[in-house]
Amino acid sequence: MSTPHIYVDGDACPVRDEVFRVALRLSLPVTVVSNGSRGVRLPDGVRRVIVEEGADAADDWIVEAIGPNDICVTADIPLAARCLAKKALSVSPRGHAWTEANIGGALAGREISRHMRETGMETRNAAFTGADRQRFLVALDAAVAAASRPAPPTFRIPPGGF
């Protein structure tokens, strides 16, 4: 199995430093993708990709580049869904591992929140905490371990059966 590559949705990502520490410890490649330089200094060996301005330009770049068992770090639920569709793993900065089992509900909840905002209701996310950071580290380690495991063997029944 190949080494997983970590892609970071770099605009407003509060856990970049944690990603860099884990990647350095495990010798994993990292690419930070954003719409602007944001003035963030990246460690040696971390690739920076700056895309054109546009609503989903960074997301589109990540989806084009990501492969099976790579990992995307993002708070963007639609981006997480697109990565899952490519058999990649996705982890939110708050430590939530997106899966095929939970992404549908997350997308629906996102639409409900959007509708609430459109009708004038206020929706807010809780402040980012140290506990969120710790949950993220645990979730990222679990994603790296899952991505690094060899795929289970597949057995095929020959035409006509056994």
- Cα(143)–Cα(27) distance, rounded to whole angstroms? 15
For residue 154, being part of any structural domain is answered with no
For residue 161, being part of any structural domain is answered with no
How many separate domains does the chain show? 1
Q: What pLDDT is recorded for position 112?
A: 61
Residue 120 pLDDT more than 60? yes
For residue 157, being part of any structural domain is answered with no
- Cα(154)–Cα(162) distance, rounded to whole angstroms? 16
Q: Which residues pair with 98 in a beta bridge?
A: 90
For residue 118, being part of any structural domain is answered with yes
Residue 32 pLDDT more than 90? yes
Residue 97 pLDDT more than 90? yes
CATH of the domain at 124: 3.40.50
Q: What pLDDT is recorded for position 126?
A: 81
Please report which confidence band the pLDDT of residue 41 belongs to, taking 50, 70 and 90 as the band edges.
confident
For residue 98, being part of any structural domain is answered with yes
In degrees and rounded to multiples of 5, residue 49 shows phi and psi of -125, 120
Residue 125 pLDDT more than 60? yes
Which tens digit of pLDDT belongs to each residue from 106-117?
Answer: 666 656 666 566
Q: In terms of residue numbers, what domain contains 101?
A: 6-148
For residue 11, what are its two tokens? 């605009």
For residue 75, being part of any structural domain is answered with yes
Q: What pLDDT is recorded for position 91?
A: 97
For residue 162, being part of any structural domain is answered with no
For residue 155, being part of any structural domain is answered with no
Burial 9-44 (b: 16+ CB within 10 A, else e): bbbebebbebbbebbeeeebebbbbbbeeeeeebee
